[in-house]
């Protein structure tokens, strides 16, 4: 890979924007061919980034959760078209909002709907029902129990009829708990983290390990300031025992690239045919139109990940996180890369997507 190419130039262009820390790693054909680190991992700028940092990777957690679900699909413990209520009975008689009215849902919500984010759920973590759940569980909100409160919130459309970025992957975490008979985080540890040597990844971080988290900031666009917001996950951690399948993983750059490399190679975690199924478009025309409100037109959405739209120029699949983490796997070129930073509402949230093309050009 070109060590002074477009990827390096792009990463350096992020620095004048004030990004406090950056860590980016690229693998090609199973080998690390590029690594760039800059900035500091603590608020007082005393500790340069060195790769030992742990990050709240937010929505990059979704790919881990989908992997857990698909492992159970491979074992025929879960089937994609199973009704969600078979695992979580509270989702049997769902309601939806229609022009301000509450009506009964006609379509049965399935596991496939959750994976494709076409279930009709929202990302309203502050709903009255979830807030009541926090109170009634004494602030614990265990993942499985939290679903009893989430299911009380009406859907915003019939399952399967549109696409909405939402808490679908959090529901999937609860499905994994029921289907596997293990707490979600424990299942992931035993079947994903331990298999790939991810020793610094978890969905519930002990308080005494919080100092290992890289300094986290929230960018204020009006003032241009990066305001420290503490090491804990913001907004998506509903309780002290809540393991958010959609945004709750804490990981390191080295851990996460090991996870991605295992997915790319089809070793240890999922069969190649399963991965192929995940990265094929899984939504219809109406959901895809809704998805394109937040995605580039050359992509569609598969089973939990963005994926190339047939006939487009796109080659990669992956996702990104609220604090800036971004992943891409490019199967035909045997490329994997992971970009880590720790800034919510980051000024590079949109332009980080251009890293994919820069990496490709530097390698080919």
Tens-digit pLDDT profile for residues 294-304: 999 999 999 99
Q: Note the pLDDT of residue 44.
A: 87
Say if residue 99's pLDDT is above 90. Answer: no
Q: What is the CATH number of the domain that holds 171?
A: 1.20.58
Q: 36: which 2 tokens?
A: 């760039």
Residue-range definition of the domain harbouring residue 230 = 6-61+183-363
132 and 247 in a single domain? The answer is no
254 and 356 in a single domain? The answer is yes
Residues pairing with 38 in the sheet: 22
Q: Note the pLDDT of residue 180.
A: 98
pTM: 0.97
207 and 354 in a single domain? The answer is yes
Residue whose token pair is 């994919």: 356
Indicate the pairing of strand 95-98 with strand 101-104: antiparallel
86 and 56 in a single domain? The answer is no
Q: Note the pLDDT of residue 328.
A: 98
C-alpha–C-alpha distance, residues 156 and 334, integer Å: 39
Q: Note the pLDDT of residue 157.
A: 97
50 and 157 in a single domain? The answer is no
112 and 253 in a single domain? The answer is no
What integer best gives the mean pLDDT of the chain?
A: 96
CB atoms within 10 A of CB 350: 10
Say if residue 248's pLDDT is above 90. Answer: yes
C-alpha–C-alpha distance, residues 279 and 157, integer Å: 25
Residue 302 counted as domain residue = yes
Mean pLDDT, range 234-239, rounded to an integer: 94
Q: Note the pLDDT of residue 233.
A: 95
57 and 195 in a single domain? The answer is yes
User: Which position has the higher pLDDT, 106 or 350?
Assistant: 106
Q: 105: which 2 tokens?
A: 């849902």
Q: Note the pLDDT of residue 137.
A: 98
Q: What single-letter DSSP state applies at residue 108?
A: P
Residue whose token pair is 């939990």: 304
Mean pLDDT, range 305-319, rounded to an integer: 96
What is the band of 52 on the pLDDT scale with cuts at 50, 70, 90? confident
Say if residue 7's pLDDT is above 90. Answer: yes
Residue 1 counted as domain residue = no
Mean pLDDT, range 103-113, rounded to an integer: 96
Domain-terminating residue out of 180, 210, 242: 180
Contact 349, 221 (CB under 8 A): no
Query: Residues 6 or more apart from 277 whose CB is under 8 A from it?
Result: 70, 302, 303
Among the listed residues 57, 67, 58, the one whose alpha carbon sits nearest the alpha carbon of residue 251: 57
Domain-terminating residue out of 158, 180, 202: 180
Say if residue 63's pLDDT is above 90. Answer: yes
Number of domains in the chain: 2
Q: What pLDDT digit, counting tens, does each position of 156-215 carry?
A: 999 999 999 999 999 999 999 999 999 999 999 999 999 999 999 999 999 899 999 999
The share of the chain scoring above pLDDT 70, in percent, equals: 100
Among the listed residues 122, 82, 59, 71, the one whose alpha carbon sits nearest the alpha carbon of residue 304: 59
Say if residue 105's pLDDT is above 90. Answer: yes
Q: Give one word for 328, left, alpha or beta, with left for phi > 0 and alpha for psi -120 to 50.
A: beta
Q: What pLDDT digit, counting tens, does each position of 64-87 carry?
A: 999 999 999 999 999 999 999 999
Residue 189 counted as domain residue = yes
262 and 348 in a single domain? The answer is yes
Residue 196 counted as domain residue = yes
Q: Note the pLDDT of residue 340.
A: 97
Mean pLDDT, range 300-323, rounded to an integer: 97
Q: Note the pLDDT of residue 222.
A: 94
312 and 246 in a single domain? The answer is yes
Q: Strand, helix or coil at 299? A: strand
- The separation between CA 202 and the C-alpha centre of its own chain, rounded to angstroms, equals 14
Residue 214 counted as domain residue = yes
Say if residue 264's pLDDT is above 90. Answer: yes
Say if residue 43's pLDDT is above 90. Answer: no
Domain-terminating residue out of 151, 180, 209: 180
Q: Note the pLDDT of residue 178.
A: 98
Q: Note the pLDDT of residue 169.
A: 98
Say if residue 136's pLDDT is above 90. Answer: yes
Q: Note the pLDDT of residue 93.
A: 94
CB atoms within 10 A of CB 237: 19
Positive/negative CA dihedral, 42, 250, 333, 312: negative
Q: Note the pLDDT of residue 154.
A: 97
Residue positions counted in the chain: 364
Q: Note the pLDDT of residue 266.
A: 87
Residue 244 counted as domain residue = yes
């Amino acid at each position: 890979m070109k060590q002074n190419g477009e990827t390096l130039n792009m990463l350096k262009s992020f620095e004048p924007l004030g990004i406090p820390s950056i860590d980016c790693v690229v693998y090609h054909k199973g080998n690390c061919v590029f690594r760039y680190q800059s900035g500091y991992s603590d608020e007082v700028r005393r500790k340069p980034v060195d790769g030992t940092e742990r990050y709240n990777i937010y929505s990059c957690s979704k790919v881990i959760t989908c992997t857990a679900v698909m492992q159970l699909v491979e074992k025929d413990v879960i089937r994609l078209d199973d009704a969600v209520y078979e695992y979580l009975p509270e989702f049997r008689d769902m309601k939806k909002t229609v022009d301000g009215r509450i009506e009964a849902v006609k379509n049965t919500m399935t596991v496939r709907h959750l994976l494709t984010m076409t279930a009709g759920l929202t990302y309203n973590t502050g709903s009255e029902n979830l807030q009541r759940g926090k109170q009634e569980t004494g602030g614990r909100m265990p993942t499985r129990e939290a679903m009893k409160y989430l299911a009380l919130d009406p859907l915003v459309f019939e399952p399967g009829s549109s696409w909405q970025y939402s808490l679908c992957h959090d529901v999937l975490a609860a499905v994994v708990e029921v289907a596997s008979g293990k707490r979600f985080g424990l299942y992931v540890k035993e079947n994903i983290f331990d298999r790939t040597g991810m020793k610094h990844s978890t969905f519930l971080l002990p308080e005494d390990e919080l100092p290992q988290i890289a300094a986290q900031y929230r960018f204020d666009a009006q003032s241009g300031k990066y305001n420290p917001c503490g090491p804990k996950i913001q907004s998506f951690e509903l309780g002290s025992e809540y393991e958010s399948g959609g945004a709750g993983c804490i990981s390191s750059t080295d851990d996460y690239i090991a996870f991605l490399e295992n997915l790319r190679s089809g070793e240890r975690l999922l069969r190649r045919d399963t991965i192929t199924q995940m990265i094929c478009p899984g939504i219809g025309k109406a959901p895809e139109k809704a998805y394109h409100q937040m995605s580039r037109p050359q992509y569609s959405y598969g089973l939990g990940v963005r994926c190339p739209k047939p006939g487009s120029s796109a080659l990669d699949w992956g996702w990104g996180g609220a604090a800036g983490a971004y992943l891409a796997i490019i199967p035909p070129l045997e490329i994997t890369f992971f970009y880590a930073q720790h800034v919510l509402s980051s000024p590079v949230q949109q332009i980080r997507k251009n890293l994919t093309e820069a990496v490709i050009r530097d390698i080919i």
